[in-house]
Structure 1
């Protein structure tokens, strides 16, 4: 049985639009990131053919492989997993890092970006529950971190 990727993508986009409107948001302001971490390059290409552009990978190595295998100038790759500091030099192909979760990583990214003359786009991960089992900057540190 063949999956109709285009139809499924449309259905998800319609659900997202409905939820956005219910929340008083404009649907076009929402970015749907297809998590492709377990998907084959062919599956990702099927989504690209259906018009999707944003893909998320949780491992740097897997993401780099997909970036190389699924070429496209208008594709945006998101790094959604925790980044090891020794992988910072490999993350520049990613459009957005969703998991800036500690000072040490921020310092490594900043130093590398300055050295290479590049910028990283990041989302700060905040551990609002102060759960020691979870990653993220503490809520108390967030203001200082962003300053």
Structure 2
């Protein structure tokens, strides 16, 4: 199937999950995860109506931002972010979903160009408690929220998680339920970035507002260059 057909299929799945959860039809947005995929694939998705794209690798993402500067794309950085890469992200992206410590937030704030609107931020929370996963612990969240809320070039929108894989829907829903319960810690939180191809329905059932879908749109990824 083509990228356009894949996007249409994903939207049908989102609409079905939203209806099953009894939510408003426009309450969930699709973030097309284009990491490792060429700019031409992003352009094809854009031609099919997709406007929001997620990138995990700073240099690759910036190359695509620049190659596709003729399109009004909403660019989201969703991967781990090192402090030596914050300037590039602050200058080129509209959202960062993966902030997990104050140092990163402070640098994004200080390096956000004055001619751009405040950078939309989600705090990544390690809801599964996995040592291998990035993200702040739920107990540390309130103090980080308070600190980020004082940074004028950032707009704290919500929370993100990448939970451990689970087979059945009940097990999938548990970490999403936990993340949704933490959103009230944010003064004006309106965003839950959670759910990927394998657990999207569970995430939508628990209140996801962004679902991050890559393989179902663009096909399997080639990680040989990463």
Q: Structure 1-normalised TM-score?
A: 0.88
1:12: how far off?
A: 0.8
1:138: how far off?
A: 1.3
Runs of 4+ in 1 over 3 A off after TM superposition: none
1:4-43 pair list within 5 angstroms: 4-43=2-41
Taking a change above 3 Å as real, the CA distance of residues 72 and 14 of structure 1, as seen in their structure-2 partners, is: farther
Contact kept in structure 1, 2:101 and 2:144, CA below 8 Å: no
Q: Which residue in the other structure is 1:106 paired with? A: 105
Taking a change above 3 Å as real, the CA distance of residues 145 and 9 of structure 1, as seen in their structure-2 partners, is: same
Q: Which structure has the higher relative contact order (CA within 8 Å, separation 6+)?
A: 2
1:142: how far off?
A: 0.5
**SS in structure 2 of the partner of residue 123 of structure 1:** strand
Q: Which residue in the other structure is 1:58 paired with? A: 56
Structure 2 unaligned runs (5+)? 147-226
Q: How many residues align?
A: 143
1:49: how far off?
A: 0.7
1:83: how far off?
A: 0.8
1:134: how far off?
A: 1.6
Q: Structure 2-normalised TM-score?
A: 0.59
- Distance in 1 separating the partners of 2:119 and 2:3: 31
